[in-house]
Amino acid sequence: MSGSTFGKQFTITTWGESHGKGIGCVVDGCPAGLSLQEADIQTYLNRRKPGQNKFNTPRKESDVVEILSGIFEGKTTGAPISLLVHNQNQHTKDYDHLLHVYRPGHADFTFEQKYGIRDHRGGGRSSGRETVGRVAGGAVAATLLKQLNITLNAFSKSIGEIIIPTKAYDFAEINQNPFYMPNATYAKETAAYLEHIMKQQDSCGGIVECIVTGLPLGLGEPVFDKLDANIAKALMSIGAVKGVEIGDGMDVTKRRGSENNDAFYVSDRHIYKQSNHAGGVLGGLSDGAPLVVRAAIKPTPSIGQTQRTATKDFSACDIRIHGRHDPIIVPRAVVVIESMIATTLADLLLQNMSSRMDYLTAIYK
Amino acid sequence: MSGSTFGKQFTITTWGESHGKGIGCVVDGCPAGLSLQEADIQTYLNRRKPGQNKFNTPRKESDVVEILSGIFEGKTTGAPISLLVHNQNQHTKDYDHLLHVYRPGHADFTFEQKYGIRDHRGGGRSSGRETVGRVAGGAVAATLLKQLNITLNAFSKSIGEIIIPTKAYDFAEINQNPFYMPNATYAKETAAYLEHIMKQQDSCGGIVECIVTGLPLGLGEPVFDKLDANIAKALMSIGAVKGVEIGDGMDVTKRRGSENNDAFYVSDRHIYKQSNHAGGVLGGLSDGAPLVVRAAIKPTPSIGQTQRTATKDFSACDIRIHGRHDPIIVPRAVVVIESMIATTLADLLLQNMSSRMDYLTAIYK
Amino acid sequence: MSGSTFGKQFTITTWGESHGKGIGCVVDGCPAGLSLQEADIQTYLNRRKPGQNKFNTPRKESDVVEILSGIFEGKTTGAPISLLVHNQNQHTKDYDHLLHVYRPGHADFTFEQKYGIRDHRGGGRSSGRETVGRVAGGAVAATLLKQLNITLNAFSKSIGEIIIPTKAYDFAEINQNPFYMPNATYAKETAAYLEHIMKQQDSCGGIVECIVTGLPLGLGEPVFDKLDANIAKALMSIGAVKGVEIGDGMDVTKRRGSENNDAFYVSDRHIYKQSNHAGGVLGGLSDGAPLVVRAAIKPTPSIGQTQRTATKDFSACDIRIHGRHDPIIVPRAVVVIESMIATTLADLLLQNMSSRMDYLTAIYK
Amino acid sequence: MSGSTFGKQFTITTWGESHGKGIGCVVDGCPAGLSLQEADIQTYLNRRKPGQNKFNTPRKESDVVEILSGIFEGKTTGAPISLLVHNQNQHTKDYDHLLHVYRPGHADFTFEQKYGIRDHRGGGRSSGRETVGRVAGGAVAATLLKQLNITLNAFSKSIGEIIIPTKAYDFAEINQNPFYMPNATYAKETAAYLEHIMKQQDSCGGIVECIVTGLPLGLGEPVFDKLDANIAKALMSIGAVKGVEIGDGMDVTKRRGSENNDAFYVSDRHIYKQSNHAGGVLGGLSDGAPLVVRAAIKPTPSIGQTQRTATKDFSACDIRIHGRHDPIIVPRAVVVIESMIATTLADLLLQNMSSRMDYLTAIYK
């Protein structure tokens, strides 16, 4: 396997299963001298927690983070930062009936095929709970980015058929509704929409968008570790993501070159783009405009309706999933996506430091 | 930088600029004992070459590959395979007027900002010609996959507004038209569509799809090197790609769980899926169904129309790009996308070999 | 930084400081289906603990390991294995006087220069306690090797001037004396030798040797990840190691080719070497003979004698180190070296699985 | 395999066989803006070439390097630098008789076992000629180091029993004798010594030492990518190297702590060491004193004397190697070792740039 580490200079290594002892993350390569406290990370983890509303799983996940290493007197020392979140409130018995059954839309079948063994309790390593490690690590990255005045805003752009147009965004609203939507009216509409779906014991998908401002020019390492390439990997590695777009994304396929090119203009001896169809990335490098990224989140696969499936010993059977599941993953995915983007950016920021001889001479003068 | 290597066990390292001496690729980690000849690679490179029709650049690129190492008596030896394609027919003078001007939609501006120096001749390293190295390396991967009865079919699913529905696919048609489209009628329609666009000195985008059959179950390395994650990176690292979809992609965002889940069924003591909304990937691992991937290709940024832009010394100016450019990149991108997917799959096939103790005991018995 | 991960397919990522909350290791890439229990790891950690004799630090380190993830019903699942050892019995106050003083032979000065910040308590990340993580991870590797009938024997070959000649080795003695020496007589001599040194408030160095049998032929990945290259890195990355030898090591420099070459012979349709000057490695690959590796361990830098040194604010001063230190590191380094070799071998065993097409077809038939 | 790339930020990927079309190296991650010409690299390759004297192989290797990419108007652009040296003067027929025979001390046997196929011509990839790629890449690294006023001096410290004591070093002599020895008298003695050995159709080994001055403090990435660890790997990955020492190396094993510790002193508000037993590395980081590294080179395995060996089909036989071989590898290994150290240092210099937040704010202000 060996796929548990992400990044090259700034890396996160995550571990842990849904119903094991805990979930953790080791952050390596974080520069020394960054102020970092448990509260910085807890804030991020709290955004991932199921809310106190009817649109979330009734599972209680306290998810308290503990920093085990890498900090001395409130600052990073350059040593690896080990983060631990103990598992609690696991109802392992809820999963006993899944010991031999493969849930549609889940990784039960493929994990068993790959490894010949499977921790069926809550999906084990393939559980959405795995993202606790990503958020813990991403919070460290985000703290670093903040020091450099880089701002990330992730939010739900759509839930099912409710789609918020760009011009209706109001970032101040994001934390004011249970869906992390940048518009109060659409959030209200979404609540009604979801109640309808829940009554049908069904679930739905949506789009998470993230807009990043303040990035230095030139981030990304051609030709394979481009900014957009690394972000695409970062997001597609999240369980429920089925599509990733940069800037105008899939829409560019219907555009003309004359519409899609962003013209340059000059202002005060700086060069800017008049539009941002490219989403802040030209040739795989940040171009000074806001980075705009979207991820398509699939509907929660765990639904109450009866589904046809198969067992380990090749019997067909029906399954109804009762557990404690979210009818919609999108709102809780918002912080996961922001975290993965933060981690990717922190890594590329460090990598970019060695791109020019004059940077070397500045440091090794 | 150091972003010129892709993969972990089966790796490609590419190099070369548009107007330098050549383009190359070093393939490392290819298992010994694979029959491989220059012809295997040339076939792939030929698919990337501008065709003999009016929809392509009139540039002639012979692109003859030479194998410099790693082969002995027609077989791979386990040593790195160095592939070289000399550049020819470069009209460097065509680019003299671009020395100080940033072309909209190109990487001129960002490369200059990142590196403080820029090879302006044909875009240098950021040129589409860079993909010669990807195709050469991908051809080696594809040869390996073929040995394991894995089949890749990449094609143009859409060009501009002409979109071929899935049920209209006929793979036998792919190589029968200049657009690598799996349908003759749509191809004819596309020809007319493109002529219209070319008259306007404009360009357009489109979608490339790739369908892979014959994959073993369980490919992909959770949680960060998942099959879909690595493919997303592979494709988004290609210059013109702005979006990547797996299976139903962006469309899942409007679906219900009850629609989107693929039910399992049993046949002859094997387990299959009744539908394939997931595109052959569950939990980041191949699930036995065909792998379905799509990439959104932006319109060629080089167009004949006048565009507003800026120069290195901060003057605003107009630009008209005369060179020898494709009005549409999509058809030539088909083999690039197939190559990147082949490389990703070869790498994950090798990585997966150490996923189980019984595989170890099989080999080290 | 980002230097906390070792290996490529089978990786260990370690974290933790001497006086922090604990030390840990995340093992990634371990094949699924390996029986593994805390006891397997504890056995290794116990060999690293200070013994109940006068030649060790009187510090009590219980070092109980906890497996936090990656195991289900006694077997590895392919998911990362997180190992945690809580720190206990830390006397942080012992180090208060070192806040501004750089201990000779320690990393105090260089860490402060590199990071601009330093956890002075017990050396922080640069402490010998860091090796707890290596041993925990190495124990997992060793458990895997055992399944494949690969045997590692590490021991003290010399302590100070007491050197055990190869012909006097008796592996049965290794665990019968406090020095992990393969000879009882030499061990007795060593005890007297060390008492003398301790009276002088001094310390001494020595050689650890490790002999590995049962290795498959051909392990190692030319040209940079050769078996001997990766082992050299593995051992030299341990704090106190200043030299690494394979086979006859430094002695080959005085040899003739006619003496140093190991002649081949045939027996029962297998090919063997008549001698083993090469130490089991030819061209960077295992050659069927026992792998023979030695590491030179420097004397414990912490000594009771007065030493001249400097403070952070550039004053000269004297230092006498009172703490609870080993007069000799060698015996406790034995298991650390065995662990690093085990980790290196496990990694190369996994990498080697993709070296030949017939291995691929065996697994993907 | 996939072991053909060395380094993490500044990487070299080498390829090529002794009797293939050529040998090459792709340097990736070299900062943009470094002046680099073919002459810079040729100078290094020339030091590797067999000299015009009786102590070298009579093979003529012109080894002219060509830069294929990555340079624009005499400067690096940040793109990968592809270096190519065509093979010439290969006497492939000389190796026909080795098709089925395994030469003692060579990698013939192990390569065949690992890969099931072997390029027997001149040893294929396992030939000493492979080091052409290392030297070409290392020359780029050395050019970078020179810009930062870092100086490398590699030389033959011993050949067989002729050992030059440290106090007799005169670096001005290194290029004045065929052995790259830092002392004319010892060089003369060596000539006589080697003539004697050559008469016996034998060969001998020796020690190469490299001393590096001007290194910034703090290079090295704990805990696994320490300066000494990465250098140990770099050197042990060279075919003929059997031992690596840092500073006093194996001798520390017989020392007392009171002798081995380097005391610190203060001068002009800087801290220095009074001695340098540690060889310039404390805790895996450069400590300001000269870096001192030694590698043990084994005797050339190709000798004219009759040796016992075996064939591929398990027959015992005699072998006498007639080819055109060096009686001593040491002098030609000098530049190879210097190159590998340069590459390692360049990589760690780049990695170190992200070790501190104040470096980030300096660059991203």
pLDDT tens-digit series, residues A6-22: 999 999 999 999 999 99
The rounded Cα C153 to chain-centroid distance in angstroms is 12
Instruction: Please report, as a single letter, which amino acid is at residue A350.
Output: L
Per-residue pLDDT of C50-68, as tens digits, reads 766 777 766 666 899 999 9
Which token pair is B251? 């469309």
Whether the Cβ atoms of residue D242 and residue D299 lie closer than 8 Å to each other:
no
Chain D residues in contact with B80 (beta carbon < 8 A) = 1, 4, 13-16, 125
* Angstrom distance (rounded) from CA B39 to CA B98: 37
* Angstrom distance (rounded) from CA A78 to CA D14: 32
**What is the model's pLDDT at position B52?**
65
Nearest CA in chain A to B130: A223
Integer CA distances (angstroms), A283 to A287, B301, B326, C83, in order: 9, 11, 18, 42
Cβ pair B218:A315 closer than 8 A: no
Judged against a pLDDT cut of 50, whether residue C1 lies above it is answered with: no
**What is the model's pLDDT at position C176?**
96
**What is the model's pLDDT at position D264?**
97
> Where residue A104 falls among pLDDT bands split at 50, 70, 90?
very high
Per-residue pLDDT of A255-281, as tens digits, reads 999 999 999 999 999 999 999 999 999
Which token pair is D208? 């190469």
Per-residue pLDDT of B171-197, as tens digits, reads 999 999 999 999 999 999 999 999 999
Round to the nearest angstrom and report the end-to-end CA distance of chain A: 43
Whether the Cβ atoms of residue A325 and residue A128 lie closer than 8 Å to each other:
no
Per-residue pLDDT of A177-225, as tens digits, reads 999 999 999 999 999 999 999 999 999 999 999 999 999 999 999 999 9
* Angstrom distance (rounded) from CA D157 to CA D170: 11
DSSP classification of residue D365: -
Q: Which of C4, C111, C199, C282 to mutate to test the interface with D (most CBs of D within 10 A)?
A: C282
Judged against a pLDDT cut of 90, whether residue C89 lies above it is answered with: no
Beta-bridged to residue C75, according to DSSP, are C35, C72
Q: What is the mean pLDDT of residues D266-272?
A: 95
Which token pair is A79? 């040593």
Cβ pair D354:A31 closer than 8 A: yes
Q: Which burial class, exposed, middle or buried, applies to C324 when counting CB atoms under 10 A from its CB (0-12, 13-18, 19+)?
A: middle
Closest CA to B40 of B172, B132, B136, B133: B136
Of A205-209, B49-53, D190-194, D343-347, minimum mean pLDDT range: B49-53
Question: What is the radius of gyration, based on Cα positions, of chain D?
Answer: 21
Strand-strand pairing, D81-86 and D65-67: antiparallel
Q: What is the mean pLDDT of residues D115-139?
A: 94
Closest CA to D247 of D236, D255, D239: D255
Closest CA to B26 of B129, B140, B123, B148: B140
Round to the nearest angstrom and report the end-to-end CA distance of chain D: 42
Chain B residues in contact with C9 (beta carbon < 8 A) = 9, 351, 354
Cβ pair A30:C1 closer than 8 A: yes
Of B320-324, C128-132, C195-199, D117-121, minimum mean pLDDT range: B320-324
ipTM: 0.97
Q: What's the per-residue H, E or C state across chain C?
A: CCECEECCCCEEEEEECCCCCEEEEEEECCCECCECCHHHHHHHHHHHCCCCCCCCCCCCCCCCEEECCCEECCEECCCCEEEEEECCCCCHHHHHHHCCECCCCCCHHHHHHHHCCCCCHHHHHHCHHHHHHHHHHHHHHHHHHHHCCCEEEEEEEEECCEECCHHHCCHHHHHHCCCCCCCHHHHHHHHHHHHHHHHCCCCECEEEEEEEECCCCCCCECECECHHHHHHHHHHCCCCEEEEEECCHHHHHHCEHHHHCCCEEEECCEEEECCCCCCCEECCEECCCCEEEEEEECCCCCCCCCEEEEECCCCEEEECCCCCCCCECHHHHHHHHHHHHHHHHHHHHHHHCCCEHHHHHHHCC
Q: What is the mean pLDDT of residues B161-169?
A: 98
Cβ pair B79:D124 closer than 8 A: yes
The rounded Cα D159 to chain-centroid distance in angstroms is 16
* Angstrom distance (rounded) from CA D25 to CA A327: 54
Of A235-239, B153-157, C118-122, minimum mean pLDDT range: C118-122
Chain B residues in contact with C216 (beta carbon < 8 A) = 364
Mean pLDDT over each residue of chain B, to the nearest integer: 94
Nearest CA in chain A to C14: A80
Judged against a pLDDT cut of 70, whether residue A245 lies above it is answered with: yes
* Angstrom distance (rounded) from CA A353 to CA B120: 23
**Helices and strands in chain B: count of H runs, count of E runs:** 8, 18
Of B134-138, B248-252, B253-257, C96-100, minimum mean pLDDT range: C96-100
Which token pair is B306? 């006048």
Judged against a pLDDT cut of 80, whether residue C91 lies above it is answered with: no
Cβ pair D349:A357 closer than 8 A: no
Q: What is the mean pLDDT of residues D183-188?
A: 98
B&C contacts, CB < 8 Å: 88
**Region of residue C306 (left: phi > 0; alpha: psi -120 to 50; beta: else):** beta
Q: What are phi and psi of A74, to 5 degrees?
A: 80, 5
Of B233, B283, B299, the CB nearest to A110: B283
**What is the model's pLDDT at position B324?**
62
Q: Which of D201, D233, D326, D344 to mutate to test the interface with C (most CBs of C within 10 A)?
A: D233
Q: What's the per-residue H, E or C state across A33-90?
A: CCECCHHHHHHHHHHHCCCCCCCCCCCCCCCCEEECCCEECCEECCCCEEEEEECCCC
Give all strands (DSSP E) within chain A, no chain letters.
Answer: 5-6, 11-16, 22-28, 65-67, 71-72, 75-76, 81-86, 151-159, 162-163, 206-213, 241-246, 264-267, 270-273, 281-282, 285-286, 291-297, 307-310, 316-319
Q: What is the pTM of this model?
A: 0.97
Q: What is the mean pLDDT of residues D338-356?
A: 98
**What is the model's pLDDT at position D193?**
96
Structural element, H or E, at residue B139: helix B131-147
* Angstrom distance (rounded) from CA A200 to CA A203: 8
Q: Tokens 């440091």 correspond to what residue?
A: A363
> Where residue C324 falls among pLDDT bands split at 50, 70, 90?
low
Q: What is the mean pLDDT of residues D220-234?
A: 98
How many angstroms separate the CA of residue C73 from the nearest CA in chain D?
32
Higher pLDDT, A56 or C233: C233
**What is the model's pLDDT at position A294?**
98
Mean pLDDT over each residue of chain A, to the nearest integer: 94
Of C8, C76, C363, the CB nearest to B353: C363
Cβ pair B5:D16 closer than 8 A: no
Cβ pair D363:A358 closer than 8 A: no
**What is the model's pLDDT at position D1?**
45
Using DSSP's 3-state secondary structure scheme, residue D196 falls into helix
Of C28, C77, C124, the CB nearest to A13: C28
Per-residue pLDDT of A51-99, as tens digits, reads 667 777 766 768 999 999 999 999 999 999 999 999 987 777 777 777 8
